[in-house]
Amino acid sequence: MDEVISFSYGLLQRQMNNPVVILLINLGAYLLAEKFFIRMGRKGWFHPLFTTSLLVFLVIRFSPLQPDMYTKHSELLKMLLAPFTVSLAVPLSRQLHTLRQLAGPLMCSLLIGGFLAAFIGMGMALATGGSREVVLSISTKAVTTAVALVMGEQYGAIIPLVAAVVIISGVYGSLVGPSLCRMFGVTDPRAIGFAMGVNAHAGGTARAFELDLTMGVYSSLGMCLCAIYMPLLVPWLISLLL
């Protein structure tokens, strides 16, 4: 009996660590999370970005799927992040006539918002006794995952922590961003969208597109501009604070 159980477990382990199975786990988890999100009335707390991560965690925790194999065979999805980010330029091109009129306010918002996002995060990590590696990992919180991972590798950050910080920032920003803006009297979808793109990147942009097309366009603009701005700003902050 023990041999049968051992053989069955080994067979299950080989199947679970198959690249195709891992891809199906990712896709299946997202589809389930999206259905749950719709069923719950599209409330921010049930955003697929969060629930998908939770489902995948549970699969890894309670199955023979090995974390290192999951990471290895999920590289395809990681590679697709950059093209997906670039594709957001399509809706942006349809708003060029209004973007030119708002260039000044948007650039001021980007420069100040991006600086505060990185500076406050790094400052809080230092103030609470975080190591150099932890501070470097948090320094990338204001950019989308594809850019943050590259920056983290260049700076010698803790890559899993980089990914976690970016995801948490995106989820939290998508949850509280719109409500927080309205609380302070900001109702223009362009302003809300840009703020969410700068502070919550991909997660905020996905949420913005769900709420309003214009909001989503400006959120993608904020995210893309941050992806250009932060790699220039963060090295200066590192030299200043570390």
- Of 45, 13, 42, 47, the residue nearest 30 (C-alpha): 47
> Measured between alpha carbons, how far is 163 from 43 in angstroms, rounded to an integer?
24
> Measured between alpha carbons, how far is 221 from 173 in angstroms, rounded to an integer?
16
Tell me what pLDDT residue 5 has: 52
Tell me what pLDDT residue 13 has: 62
Tens digit of pLDDT for each residue in 186-235?
999 999 999 999 988 888 888 888 888 889 888 988 888 888 899 999 99
pLDDT at 122 over 90: yes
> Measured between alpha carbons, how far is 203 from 48 in angstroms, rounded to an integer?
9
